[in-house]
Amino acid sequence: MVGYKAKAIEAINPATVPERILNSGHSMPCIGLGTFGSDHITPQKVAETVEDAAMLGYRSFDCASVYGNEKEIGFALSNIMEKGIKREDLWITSKVWNDMHDPEDVIASCKKSLSDLQLDYLDLYLVHWPFPNTHAPGCDVSSRANDSKPYIHENYMKTWRAMEQLVKLGLVRNIGTSNMTIPKMKLLLNDANIIPAVNEMELHPHFQQKELFDFLTAKNIAPIGFCPIGSPGRPERDRTPDDTVPTEDPVIVRIAVAHNIHPALVCIKWAVQRGQIPIPFSTTRRNYFSNLKAITEDPLTDAEMKMISRIDKNCRFIKGQVFLWKEEQDWQDLWDEDGIIAE
Ligand SMILES: NC(=O)c1ccc[n+]([C@@H]2O[C@H](COP(=O)([O-])OP(=O)(O)OC[C@H]3O[C@@H](n4cnc5c(N)ncnc54)[C@H](OP(=O)(O)O)[C@@H]3O)[C@@H](O)[C@H]2O)c1
């Protein structure tokens, strides 16, 4: 590991954090804090982190009903606003889970997230996955729900119409997708009344998804990048022997040494400078502070950006095996890699 010098922790002025203007005209901070504690970080710990991160200058928080901690985060948000941060200066994202894709469930799920988060509107609401398939929390990747289905565009559009309805009802300011592919996105763009403002997707130096990234940016859909550091804390069940470690890549380490920073911060700088919105998760104060600070100073050079563009390993960590709908299926079937939506 690089012997780098950590920064002194002092609140960062949120006005120095660049914003991304979305196709709706709203602008969103170019970095947010992830809130998925998986099965090892308690809801309380994540909520404490959200509150402290806001005091250090974070304004954007990536939540989801399935993370099981929106109630605790709601208390944190209430405290944050009591301390003087205005609602309009926060950017709160939530997501509808796969078992709530029926139109009336989408509305009910959004209202539940609003109530848990103690808010009267969300800045961004996402369809978490394009499949209505669920799994028990913490289950093995080979588990399948018996009623799992492939992507059915007609059904997805029913979900999307309810998402559009949420905008009309004033409960949500922006809607978006997550874990979409180009073929699925093309179908949605044909039929949507409201074009997604963002697509949340896995993005890190070893999984750059250039084709999808370019497709989205050409359509003015902002890519939000999850696992921006390569998700070093993901559970064992989400690891395969072929998985790589972006923060150990010699190119990332060399650039980290040149900037005297941790390799994780090279991943964050690269993400923001490339034009995606990273949402790193951290409950370690020095780390979540450094992640925010990193994007306000000492940018990577063009040559360094180019070097990182060449280390893509097409290594997807969140493969989604639990959402497959047939026995003996390969996880690649979820991702339309040959340009065709698997049935
Ligand atoms: N839409 C989706 O389907 C989807 C899927 C997956 C994730 N997400 C979202 O994306 C967020 C981030 O994904 P993720 O948590 O899997 O991956 P990640 O942000 O790449 O990695 C988080 C891990 O990195 C460590 N870390 C963070 N900053 C660091 C730093 N500066 N130096 C060293 N280590 C650092 C954290 O440990 P410490 O706590 O010790 O800092 C934590 O273990 C999630 O929380 C969630 O909000 C969305």
CATH number of the structural domain spanning residue 181: 3.20.20.100
- Mean local confidence (pLDDT), 319-337: 91
Task: Judge whether 133 lies within some domain.
Answer: yes
DSSP for residue 96: E
Task: Judge whether 7 lies within some domain.
Answer: no
Instruction: Give dist(CA 147, CA 239) in Å, integer.
Output: 26
Q: Which of 4, 48, 19, 11 is nearest to 282 (CA)?
A: 48
Tell me, what amino acid is at 160? W
Task: Judge whether 228 lies within some domain.
Answer: yes
The range of the structural domain enclosing residue 188 comes to 14-334
The pLDDT tens digits of the residues spanning 194-241 come to: 999 999 999 999 999 999 999 999 999 999 999 999 999 888 888 999
Provide the pLDDT for residue 291: 98
Task: Judge whether 339 lies within some domain.
Answer: no
For atom 8 of ligand 1, the residue with the nearest CA is 226
pTM for the model stands at 0.97
User: Counting atoms of ligand 1 from 1, which one is nearest the CA of 129?
Assistant: 3
User: Counting atoms of ligand 1 from 1, which one is nearest the CA of 36?
Assistant: 45
In total, how many domains does the chain have?
Answer: 1
Dihedral (CA of 266, 46, 22, 312) sign: positive
Instruction: Inform me whether the pLDDT recorded for 341 exceeds 80.
Output: yes
Task: Judge whether 46 lies within some domain.
Answer: yes
Task: Judge whether 64 lies within some domain.
Answer: yes
- Mean local confidence (pLDDT), 107-135: 97
The pLDDT tens digits of the residues spanning 83-94 come to: 999 999 999 999
Instruction: Give dist(CA 256, CA 307) in Å, integer.
Output: 13
- Mean local confidence (pLDDT), 164-186: 98
Task: Judge whether 5 lies within some domain.
Answer: no
Task: Judge whether 288 lies within some domain.
Answer: yes
Confidence of residue 2 (pLDDT cuts 50, 70, 90): very low
Neighbours of 191 (CB within 10 A): 12
For the chain, what is the mean pLDDT?
Answer: 95
Phi-psi bin for 170: left (phi > 0), alpha (psi -120 to 50), beta? left
The pLDDT tens digits of the residues spanning 245-304 come to: 999 999 999 999 999 999 999 999 999 999 999 999 999 999 999 999 999 999 999 999
Task: Identify the three-state secondary structure at position 250.
Answer: helix
Q: Which of 27, 12, 13, 15 is nearest to 277 (CA)?
A: 27
User: Ligand 1: which residues within 6 Å by Cβ?
Assistant: 34-36, 62, 128, 178-179, 200, 226-234, 262, 264-265, 279-284, 287, 290-291, 318
Provide the pLDDT for residue 236: 84
Structure tokens at 245: 């470690």
Confidence of residue 104 (pLDDT cuts 50, 70, 90): very high
Which range, of 109-118, 126-135, 265-274, averages the lowest pLDDT? 126-135
Tell me, what amino acid is at 60? S
Provide the pLDDT for residue 3: 64
